[in-house]
Chain A
Amino acid sequence: MKRKSWLPVSLALILILTLLSACGGNNNGNNASPSSSASASPSASEPSASPSASASSSESAAPSALSGKLVIWTFFDQVKDMAAKFMEKNPGVQVEVKMFPGDQYQTKLLTALQSGKDLPDIFDLERGYIGKFIDSKFLTDLSAMGGEDLVKDYVPYVQGLGRSADGKLKAISDHSSPGGFWYLKETAKKYLGTDDATEIGAMVSDWDKLVETGKKVYDQSGGKVHLIENAGDLFDIMAYNTEPWVKDGALNIDPKWKDTYAVQQKIRENNVDAKLEFMSAGWGTALNSGTVVLTSMPAWAGFMIDNKDDKAVGKFGVASTPLGFYTGGTYRGIYDKSPNKELAYEFIKYIASSEWQTYNLGKTGNMPGLATVYQDNMDSFKSSFFGDQNILKPYYDTVTKLPALSADKYGEEILSLWRKSAGQGITNKTDYDKVVASFKKEVKNAFPELKVD
């Protein structure tokens, strides 16, 4: 009897150990560096080596060369290029980029920050949720590290967005994302009579003119072509030309929203818009086929252009919108408890430099964050879709006028609630007061701590 009894016990033990090791195995999987090039370093178990005490790579040439390893978390593929360029310049540094695409990133980042384990040295924050992170204890105060110097020549709104409520610089972006009306020159010529960006900009310099132009386009095309994609585009444009949604702990609805709502209804009633959702399949088709004349686009959205076999080269133009706006933006901050803060700061310094931003402008067409890079390239920069047009000019006019507001945790979420209520209101021709009432109810529900009258 006794002899037999060790068998089930040991089997059960094996099962328990297997289960536990499976849990542990997952953790190891997360810790392990995906890049096999790290194998040169003997201390593979500890991903973050201090910049000073790196034993390896004594052969790297530069005298005051940086060395060590950095881990960056992002949702954005192009960070890999950024890291490659930085490593090219600093051969002693190894930058590991971990990418988590889509919505998971935000949750993954917050969970990791809370647990305090397996964390990056630098992490990216998107404009949509930077407001939630900016006042948290997780971000290093870059002002104290000399960050003010890096952003002194920045476009005001770009550096403003990276600041916490007390004005400290917490995150820096390497680009700006101004918006403009993109158009197919051929379509514009047919329906607006010109393909010149300045003339088109003048035709839509205010909302009344835009509605009038829209009516003409609709009539002239027999109802087949519309001037703009969606009346909802005005939400994006007005979001940065109105007062913040929360003031002193209370919901604040800028009176301009009422006028905007009236304009949006006018746009819808007069068939000025094609009623296509931003970034939807139909929206992209219209942009490329010309069934919509003007598409309000952020400067980074060039990937929406169908450029197979270079067919879009020189075909597009960009005109200014009635009011300046921007969409999105990626910011980068340093984790406050990172042991590699100094090295991480060098990376931030690099992406804030005109060297990187000029290179990035040329390679990807992403607009710079530095106003000086705009100025230096104003007359020379050409982008393949836009032919001879100096597109930096309209964008520079736009970005320099935008106010330097810092992000807060409510702005984007409340805007999306407004978009939901007012968007339905426009379609259903609902009275403005009713829209406001349902909006207030939503805000009160989502943020009970706010005062809503």
Chain B
Amino acid sequence: MNTKINKSYYGYIFIAPFFIGFLLIGLAPILYTFYLSLTKWDGFSDPVYVGAANYTRLIHDSFFFQTIGSTLIIWVMAIIPQILLALGLALILNERFIRGKHFFRAVFYFPHIVTPVTLGVLFSLMFDWQTGSINKVLMNIGLVDDPVNWFNNPWWSRIIVAGVICWQYFGFNLIIFIAGLQGISKEVYEAAEVDGATKPVIIRHIILPLLRPVMLFTFITSVIGGLQLFDAPLMLGDGPGNSTRTMIMYLYETAFKNFDYSYGSAIAYGIFIVVMFFTAITTLATRTKKE
């Protein structure tokens, strides 16, 4: 008994580097941010303690609530096609008869290695009102007479932002799904085929249920990623009436453009609560599925 306790003591030393690093680089800024959120500080003079004033301001800040809504709308619009596309392509690319599947996997994964900022710039050029290639194509084939001002319409703006994110991440999810599909034992397929199950039946009753853990992984990572949407939308702007401004963009604009670090810190804690809330929902949803 004693020796066992002694052994675990060394374990603590081994994990110590991470925790020391976390205390210095992770926890200290988190706590400092909380301290800042209780002050008024523009970065030039010394912080002045103001109590909960920043939080009171946050609760009444309609712009902040708008960014929560925008983030969720863009996230939903990005995640549904993203997962459907990734799943569909994974099922196809997992078939034995498909030639060149490695090539296609690489091609679909490619957008994921491009930085979101680059994609943002690329899409903003493509959808530019006057000079964008999309408008040029649409006018050439006669679908529209005048160029469409995509970024002047809240829904088109959101669709484009969601499109960028969908295009960037579906390849990543595709690889995850393929890994999941390959993890399903061949015996199960063979047994089903012997029993005369058709392809759609196999997909519905065998593949999808067995893929559930992988789907959950994808879902949870995209909840976390979706709530942190920042760089790609930033390149495409706030949108008309701030319709594509996400929570992190608002934090960035407040803290680093207006130099209102204290309110920016309060927003950061606000975002933390929102993320906690949605993580809790996701956890609950996961539980009910398991039962």
Contacts and interface: CB of A to CB of B under 8 A. Distances in A.
Interface stretch (A299-307, A391-399, A420-428): A420-428
B99 interface: no
Interface string B147-166: 00100100000000000000
Contacts of A55: none
A448 interface: yes
B259 interface: yes
A338 B249 CA distance: 35
A16 B20 contact: yes
Contacts of B131: 276, 280-282, 285
Interface in B246-261: 254, 256-260
A227 B205 CA distance: 65
Given A110-B43, A282-B128, A446-B258, A427 B149 contact: yes
Contacts of B291: none
Contacts of A137: 44-45
Interface-centre pick from A138, A427, A445 (highest chain B CB count, 10 A)? A445
A114 B14 contact: no
A236 interface: no
Q: Is the interface of B mostly helix, strand, loop or mixed?
A: helix
Nearest to A283: B131
A171 to B, nearest CB: 15
B24 interface: yes
A445 B61 contact: yes
Interface residues of B, number: 31
Interface in A389-435: 409, 413, 420, 424, 427-428
Contacts of B258: 413, 446-447
A22 B10 CA distance: 23
Interface string B3-31: 00000001001101100110010000000
Given A281-B125, A446-B258, A16 B130 contact: no
B44 A15 contact: no
B17 A19 contact: yes
Contacts of A80: none
Interface string A263-283: 000000000001110001110
A11 interface: yes
Contacts of B125: 281
A15 B257 contact: no
A275 B63 contact: no
Contact of A448 (B21, B45, B57, B149): B57
B238 interface: yes
Contacts of A448: 57
A275 B130 contact: yes
B269 interface: no
Contacts of A15: 14, 16-17
A53 interface: no
Contacts of A5: 10
Interface of B: 10, 13-14, 16-17, 20-21, 24, 42-45, 57, 61, 63, 125, 128-131, 149, 152, 238, 240-241, 254, 256-260
Given A281-B128, A438-B241, 18 more contacts: A8-B10, A8-B14, A9-B10, A12-B10, A15-B14, A15-B16, A16-B16, A110-B259, A132-B44, A135-B44, A136-B45, A276-B131, A420-B238, A428-B152, A428-B240, A445-B61, A446-B254, A446-B260
23 contacts: A8-B10, A11-B14, A12-B17, A15-B17, A16-B20, A132-B44, A132-B259, A136-B44, A136-B45, A138-B44, A274-B130, A276-B131, A280-B128, A280-B131, A281-B128, A282-B130, A285-B131, A409-B42, A427-B152, A428-B152, A428-B240, A446-B254, A448-B57
- 10 smallest beta-carbon distances between A and B, as pairs: A282-B131, A12-B13, A136-B44, A8-B10, A15-B17, A19-B17, A16-B17, A445-B63, A275-B130, A12-B14
Interface of A: 5, 8-9, 11-13, 15-16, 18-20, 23, 107, 110, 114, 132-133, 135-138, 274-276, 280-282, 285, 409, 413, 420, 424, 427-428, 438, 445-448
